[in-house]
Chain A
Amino acid sequence: MAVHQPLPDLPPPPSERGLWGWFRQNLFSTWYNSIASLVVGYLLIIWLGPVINWALISAVWTGEGTDDCRPGAACWIFIQQRLGFFLYGFYPAELRWRPNIVFVLFLITVVPQFFPRAPGRKWLALFGITGLPVLGFVLINGGFFGLDPVATSRWGGLMLTLILAYVGIIAALPIGVVLALGRRSEMPVIRGICVTFIEFWRAVPLITILFMASVMLPLFLPQGVSFDKLLRALIGITLFQSAYMAEVVRGGLQAIPKGQYEAAQALGFGYWRSMRLIILPQALKIVIPGIANTVISLFKDTTLVLIIGLFDLLGAVRSTLSDPAWRSVAAEGYLFVALCFWIFCFGMSRYSHNLEKKLDTGHKT
């Protein structure tokens, strides 16, 4: 019998190769696909061209006011003119270095969290949930160490959006963890309280919660105690967000196999220690994508505070657009805010998506 000779590898037939092969497979695989590709491609070109022309090529970027704008072209002048207002709201211009410092600290704390190998990441995270909010409040609010106080009613713009989102997450995460543990408790009363709390806040729209926080909270407090509007909004957002966070964390707790609990027990760990050392570190790691998704929705939801009269980024742009001088640039104004939110939310969702993929492969044993 002849000795077996392996066949050499041949290149694929031309229909599978190169640009033409790609086109054939992805755009023109069947006659109806070809028609669809041509029609959609044609519509896209005739539509996208003018849009790009309107938004970028013939757009007006700098100028004094809407008088400098051309019809049929986007007018981005308001961004340059009102940038300070969009970023800080009514925060006094000469004191804006204070939020700037806080923002830099915020970046130093948060950016390394996206890189698992960053040194000192855990300490930065600890600073982020303890020191940063305190320091941020001292700096932005003032009133301490000879810093001029700035009333919260003057905070606004992107700064306010970030404050609402950041404080909301930082406060909601620990509450959410406690609620999730409570919901899985074996004690019926504790479980009942947690379930009621979680389901209540999840069942009602955020708007009604913000309304409640702004009109009812003052009635709930003892006489003489009063919270300002921002704090009330933060309380409402935190209550709302912690319920969603609890459900995310609960998902993670449920995903931890029973054997982990048993191994911890068999080694002599009590409830709190096994949670802290064994279960929660694993559960929280699994739910990072879920937490990221919660952050995205919270970030989008912060816009609702304009309904109770706070000037977040959207509120700042909206109030600019209600100024007769800028009324004609409504579309540009909303597109600008949309782009700001979109960049953040899309980036975050990509991050969470990649992490999910990584966890998917990394956890298989």
Chain B
Amino acid sequence: MNSEEHIIAPVESAAADEDIIIVRDLNKWFGQFHVLKSLNLNVKKGERIVICGPSGSGKSTFIRCINHLEAHQRGEIIVDGVVLNEDLKNIEAIRREVGMVFQHFNLFPHLSVLENCLLAPIWVRKTPRKEAIEIAMEYLERVKIPEQAHKYPGQLSGGQQQRVAIARSLCMKPKIMLFDEPTSALDPEMIKEVLDVMIELAGSGMTMLCVTHEMGFAKTVADRVIFMDGGECVEEGPPQSFFNNPQQPRTREFLDQILQH
């Protein structure tokens, strides 16, 4: 059925050679405030990237630009061969292929868990309802809460809600998943259940961009870690060298602060 998502594709394989996300000279301003300063990033298919940095560094804004929740003013974003510009059809095409998980889950409180997962496949992908239900149940199974399908989001714990949010995005069969601090709003005991789902997803070969402070997660699954500060990409590299041997003093300072405890 959806075989290409279940194969664990090693990043270095020839098939994955092409870049699925290309960001060139990305600049964004909020009024006078220069939030993103000339960012460049190429992401290969199946690559897993963790973006970290202090709050206000522009990391959330950056990944929100990739599915055009924020419009950029200069530079270029190409996602899966589609140029992201003001063209509504392009934006819709990209959003169909890019799933997003938010810090505050943003589940639709008036719909049950299952209906949350059905809404977009039915109305955006135009999947027949029966097929959409099958897919939804499959993903709810994968995030380990099929038994909650008929409850409403308000009746679930934060961790469960976030797992539903992940399942909801996956139901659109995206090629890329964006995670915007998915564990920051959770109680400590619920972080693990969400990270487990994300690790499993990473194992399945999904292209992932995660903004997170979970350094353990970064060490386990990331192919590359990017450190942003003041709207710039300060340092990037594979997790081993990034954590063990950071090149920039700013990166060291940041890592010292968050790894102290």
Would you list which residues of chain B between 76 and 120 have a CB under 8 Å from chain A?
88, 92, 95-96, 98-100, 102, 104-110, 119-120
Q: B69 an interface residue at 8 Å Cβ cutoff? A: yes
The A interface, classified by DSSP as helix, strand, loop or mixed, is: helix
- The reply to whether A267 and B102 form a contact with Cβ atoms under 8 Å apart is no
* Contact with B124, one of A262, A268, A285, A363 (Cβ below 8 angstroms): A268
A268 touches B154 (CB 8 A): no
| Chain A residues within an 8 Å CB radius of B162 | none
Instruction: Determine whether A277 belongs to the interface, using a CB cutoff of 8 Å to chain B.
Output: yes
A221 within 8 A of partner (CB):
no
With both beta carbons as reference points, the residue of chain B lying nearest to A269 in the complex is identified as B124
* From B88, B110, B124, B153, contact of A267 by CB (8 A): B124
* Residues of B that sit less than 8 Å from A by CB: 67, 69, 88, 92, 95-96, 98-100, 102, 104-110, 119-120, 123-124, 153-154, 168-169, 172
Judge whether B124 and A282 touch: CB under 8 Å.
no
A273 CB contacts on chain B under 8 angstroms: 123-124
**Looking across the interface, which residue of chain A has its beta carbon closest to that of B97?**
A268
Judged by a CB distance under 8 angstroms, whether A362 is at the interface is yes
Q: How many A-B residue pairs have CB under 8 A?
A: 63
Partner of B69, one of A260, A265, A277: A265
Closest chain-A Cβ to B122's Cβ sits at a distance in Å of 10
A363→B154 contact, CB < 8 A = yes
Q: A282-B109, A282-B110, A363-B154 are in contact. Are A269 and B120 (CB under 8 A)?
A: yes
Bound Cα distance A257, B105 (Å) = 12
Give A273 to B104 CA distance when docked, in angstroms. Answer: 22
Give the CA-CA distance A278 to B106 in the complex, in Å. 11
Which residues in window 253-295 of A have CB below 8 A to B? 257, 259-260, 262-263, 265-270, 273, 277-278, 281-282, 285
Tell me the smallest distance from the CB of A31 to a CB of chain B, in Å: 49
Q: Does A208 contact B (CB under 8 A)?
A: no
Bound CA–CA A266/B170 (angstroms): 12
The reply to whether the CB of A5 lies closer than 8 angstroms to some CB of chain B is no
CB-based contact A268/B96 at 8 Å: yes
